[in-house]
Structure 1
Amino acid sequence: MPASETPASETPGDKAPVVRAGRTEPEQVGIFSFVLENDLFYDTDRRYTNGVRLTYLTPKGGEPAWLRDAFLALPMFNATSDIRVEYGLGQNMYTASDKLQADPPANDRPYAGWLYGSVGVIASTDKGNGSRVLDQLQVSLGVVGPAALAHETQDFIHGIIESPKAQGWDTQLKNEPALQLTYQRSWQSAPFTLPAGFALDATPHAGAALGNVFTFANAGAMLRFGQNLPVDYGSARVQPSLPGSGYFQPVETFGWYLFAGLDGRAVARNIFLDGNSFADSRSVDRRIVVGDVAFGIAVIVQDVRFAYTHVLRTREYETQDEADQFGVFSVSFRF
């Protein structure tokens, strides 16, 4: 058998080594992802102004046995899936529309920060004929309020880039423990092959979130078009958003795709608009229906995936004067 070939009997769940580009390495490896969402990409610096998230996705079989068994007891997971555990750490920050006002108007978005750690499981299941299903279940625990250190983080970054500092952090939401449960399912179609090595596929999704941070139900879809399409479900994102994942399988040398997607949410709670659950705080009248339009490009070079996404988000509260937009940069690499 030539050295560049992989035995047909091997599957993504096998432990056998894969020979690729003249080197031998284990197929099952961990995946590290970094995500940065920021509106400074479009020179706005307001409302949802920054989100950052670091995650580590275990190799298949690298998770604690008790955790794997607990998730396998749930009806959406089964032992034939490529199941991995994801550990994450993230921080979100929100400011008023005019960050130079020390006492923003009562009808403007409250200042707030959210710092959290998360643990979750993802399961990629091959349904045959090239179609796949991805299930993602995540639990996060953290804090909203001054203890989230959003004020200090933003001042530090703005000092480095010499940007004016936001003046309204004394009005931010009060400290509150934050517990969040999120579930998403994505159905990826078999790729439709086109001439010259091009292909496209579609991935509808649906899900829900429950907690004192976000409570919503959501649905949408994403289209991909490119060459040498990798097995993935879109780049990693910060919730709430069009779902993506750190999960991806490598390509021989180089692959890329353009993508565009929609996500609609029916929102029952958003602490960053509704205010604190158990204490008096600033709040605004939340809109029930919120939508995201996202489009961008992903490039995969062997074991590394880079992606950039432009997001347009509809107005989230009644007195918001216009829709928001922000950029998302992410990088995921297998090691």
Structure 2
Amino acid sequence: MKTLLGLITLGFACLPAWAALPDPNFDEDGYLTFYLDNDLFAGRDRDYTNGARLAWISGNEPVESLIGVQRYLRRLTGDPQSFGVFQTITGFEDPKSIVYNYGFSLTQLMYTPQDAMPYTQPPYQRRYAGWTGLGFSLHAKDEKILNSVELSIGATGPASLAEETQDFIHDIRGATKFNGWANQIPSELTVDLSFIQKRRLDFANFRYGVIRVDGITEWGARLGTFRTDTHVGGMFRMGYNLPPDFSDPRLSPTAYTHHYFNSGFDYDSHWSVFLLAGGQLTAVGHDATLDGPLFSDFNTGIERRPLVAEVYAGFGIRYRRVEFSYAHTWRTEEYTTQRGLAQIGTIGIKLRF
């Protein structure tokens, strides 16, 4: 518990010290978002069984307000102060149109086998594993592009407190406890760096009365000791008075809620109701929960698959500054002895303030 409290204190105690003075030329509203992943939405309790993430992001900020970790992350955003290769690949057409948001997050992920009763690790099933991490992020955007960079510092194994979290939740629900946590992957400090670029689909962004359709494409990469991968994907939304805040519908390394790029759009009504759908293809180079921690001689007993595909669909509803969403994901097997598609439901609760 001390590890978790220390991460919370380190990250969120920094908010007042790093916040800039209000500027009338910038959007002062930030977002607090809570994500909850769970496979119980599909009637299962195995493999990737639970994830939770609390993410805060600032309103639009001038670049002069960036200090600390976020100032160093700027070199990876594709703006004029970025490394040359990032400007070439992910750069913006008009540097003067760029605005910035910075954020903090706390994430915990949990993995278990299918069989809960054995005190030993069930063979050929997912290894018990957990990860908890604190994230520091910077987001640069214009009217069409959003580049997000997040540095995550965390811990695997018993230090992640995944066992304690699951036992606490199962006690509340009166559910059967998983007995094999003594066989989980070992504790190890992890450091990961993630980059994601999202682009508006102009041809899908139109209005007919109060009904709108919008969409984005996405690609990104993560390099780290917990996970290394790269992915491509996309999503579209359709509905009544679509909220102009672009919200990640699922828990991911850079899942935050953003004001819709830098378009100047704002809410048209107190209410929004919409549908969403998307897909993603991921190439995985390392996953500590499947391969074992990078610097530990530990065999998980399973073999990771290098490619994972997934599709998802869901809905959202907003009233004033509060938004609720649900997305259901169907994911292909992540290791060779896994049987059938994995299904995960994600609840998102967003507050604009």
> TM range, normalised to the smaller chain?
0.7 to 0.9
Which one-letter code corresponds to 2:251 in the other structure?
V
Is structure 2 residue 113 aligned with structure 1 residue 96?
Answer: yes
Going from structure 1 to structure 2, the CA distance change for 1:15 and 1:254 (only over 3 Å counts) comes to farther
Q: Distance in 2 between matches of 1:175 and 1:37?
A: 23
The count of residues paired between Structure 1 and Structure 2 equals 307
Going from structure 1 to structure 2, the CA distance change for 1:113 and 1:79 (only over 3 Å counts) comes to farther
Is structure 2 residue 53 aligned with structure 1 residue 53?
Answer: yes
Q: Distance in 2 between matches of 1:60 and 1:192?
A: 22
Aligned 8 A contact 1:223 1:260 in 2: yes
Aligned 8 A contact 2:27 2:60 in 1: no
**What is the match of residue 197 of structure 1?**
210
Which of 85, 103, 125 is the aligned partner of 2:102?
Answer: 85
Gaps of 5+ in 1: 1-13, 18-25, 127-131
Q: Which runs of 4+ in 1 moved over 6 A?
A: none
C-alpha displacement of 1:215: 0.8
Deviations 1:238-258 (A, max 9, x none): 236xx7531136523112221
The aligned runs of 1:280-291 (5 Å cut-off) are 280-283=297-300, 284-291=302-309
Deviations 1:273-332 (A, max 9, x none): 011222232321110100121110122222222111101111000000111101100111
C-alpha displacement of 1:259: 0.7
Question: Higher strand share goes to which structure?
Answer: 1
**What is the match of residue 239 of structure 1?**
252
What is the SS of the residue equivalent to 1:315?
coil
The aligned runs of 1:144-155 (5 Å cut-off) are 144-155=156-167
C-alpha displacement of 1:100: 2.0
Q: Distance in 2 between matches of 1:237 and 1:134?
A: 17
Deviations 1:73-108 (A, max 9, x none): 223474522311010111111001212222133321
Which of 208, 213, 226 is the aligned partner of 2:226?
Answer: 213
TM-score by length of 2: 0.81
Deviations 1:215-241 (A, max 9, x none): 11100111111122222334353236x
Which one-letter code corresponds to 1:290 in the other structure?
V
Aligned 8 A contact 1:235 1:298 in 2: no
Which one-letter code corresponds to 1:52 in the other structure?
A
RMSD: 2.2
Aligned 8 A contact 2:226 2:293 in 1: no
Which of 292, 306, 313 is the aligned partner of 2:310?
Answer: 292
TM-score by length of 1: 0.85
Gaps of 5+ in 2: 1-21, 261-265
Q: Distance in 2 between matches of 1:303 and 1:94?
A: 33
Question: Higher helix share goes to which structure?
Answer: 2
**What is the match of residue 266 of structure 1?**
283
Which one-letter code corresponds to 2:180 in the other structure?
G
**What is the match of residue 236 of structure 2?**
223
Which of 321, 329, 339 is the aligned partner of 1:303?
Answer: 321
What is the SS of the residue equivalent to 1:157?
helix
**What is the match of residue 167 of structure 1?**
179
Going from structure 1 to structure 2, the CA distance change for 1:323 and 1:175 (only over 3 Å counts) comes to same
Q: Distance in 1 between matches of 2:250 and 2:235?
A: 14
What is the SS of the residue equivalent to 1:233?
strand
Report sequence identity in percent.
Answer: 31
The aligned runs of 1:246-257 (5 Å cut-off) are 246-248=257-259, 251=267, 252-257=269-274
C-alpha displacement of 1:69: 4.6
Aligned 8 A contact 2:115 2:122 in 1: no
Which of 132, 136, 140 is the aligned partner of 2:148?
Answer: 136
Aligned 8 A contact 2:55 2:255 in 1: no
Q: Distance in 2 between matches of 1:174 and 1:253?
A: 49
Aligned 8 A contact 2:249 2:346 in 1: no
